Chain A
Amino acid sequence: TQLLEQSPQFLSIQEGENLTVYCNSSSVFSSLQWYRQEPGEGPVLLVTVVTGGEVKKLKRLTFQFGDARKDSSLHITAAQPGDTGLYLCAGPSRGTYKYIFGTGTRLKVLA
């Protein structure tokens, strides 16, 4: 069974700090997506990475897909309260196209 483990599970930081969250698996994924979910809302897609070693930037967010395509990271520079939310990674299960979602990282940025 393919699993996506995210760490840390919870993170509370001050505005302006940098942080990195991780998404790890023992299985290879052909692509990975990152979502942010705000309280009371559904997840919103942030980025899709498809190539091993790929780095994508979205303003203050930097996403990296591991060379072996078994892991990914999300780095936020100078976090802001608006970054608060649940961050989920997801990838298509092997053999089907159903998305497996990670365990999630709940981020709180304090003003």
Chain B
Amino acid sequence: DAGVIQSPRHEVTEMGQEVTLRCKPISGHDYLFWYRQTMMRGLELLIYFNNNVPIDDSGMPEDRFSAKMPNASFSTLKIQPSEPRDSAVYFCASSSTGPYITSGASGWETQYFGPGTRLLVL
């Protein structure tokens, strides 16, 4: 299995430009997540999809950010216009199962992370 694939691995752009990050989840995984990691804020969930439908986008910082999942094997995260404070590592992750709830425990089964896209906005 190739794992979660992200492209590009590195992106350097100038403030105001549009940036598109791409993700291919593991085949057969119905859940896809976009995270952002910075030194100041750590790892934060931006949005997640189930069966290509956005379920929770409350972590998307502002309207400049948008995410789509046109089919089960592809998702994009777009920033338009980009700003220097968007500089971060963006991770895509996928999971084969959704959240679980048992007596006394809840959470997710394993989320598989991609290698990330390191974005620098100048």
Digitize B45-63: 1 where CB-to-A-CB distance is under 8 Å, 0 elsewhere.
1001000000010110000
> How many A residues touch B, CB cutoff 8 Å?
24
Q: Is A96 an interface residue (CB 8 A)?
A: yes
Chain A interface main SS type: loop
A38 to chain B, nearest CB (A): 10
Q: Is B114 an interface residue (CB 8 A)?
A: yes
Q: Cβ of A99 and Cβ of B45 under 8 Å apart?
A: yes
Contacts of A88 in B (CB 8 A): 42-43
Chain B, range 23-51, C-beta contacts under 8 Å to A = 42-45, 48
Contact flag A101-B105 (CB < 8 Å), given A41-B115, A42-B116, A45-B111:
no
Residue on A with the closest CB to B44? Answer: A101
Q: Which listed residue, B48, B105, B111, touches A30 by the CB 8 Å rule?
A: B105
Complex CA–CA separation, A40 to B102 (angstroms): 35
Complex CA–CA separation, A33 to B116 (angstroms): 20
Q: Which listed residue, A42, A91, A92, touches B115 by the CB 8 Å rule?
A: A42
Digitize A82-93: 1 where CB-to-B-CB distance is under 8 Å, 0 elsewhere.
000000101110
Q: Is A62 an interface residue (CB 8 A)?
A: no
Q: Cβ of B114 and Cβ of A33 under 8 Å apart?
A: no
Q: Cβ of A92 and Cβ of B44 under 8 Å apart?
A: no
- Closest 9 CB pairs between A and B? A42-B113, A97-B99, A101-B43, A50-B105, A31-B107, A92-B107, A30-B106, A30-B105, A31-B105
A-B contact pairs, 10 of them (CB 8 A): A41-B116, A42-B114, A50-B102, A88-B43, A90-B43, A92-B99, A97-B98, A98-B59, A99-B108, A104-B42
Residues of A within 8 A of B (CB): 30-31, 33, 40-45, 48, 50-51, 88, 90-92, 96-99, 101-104
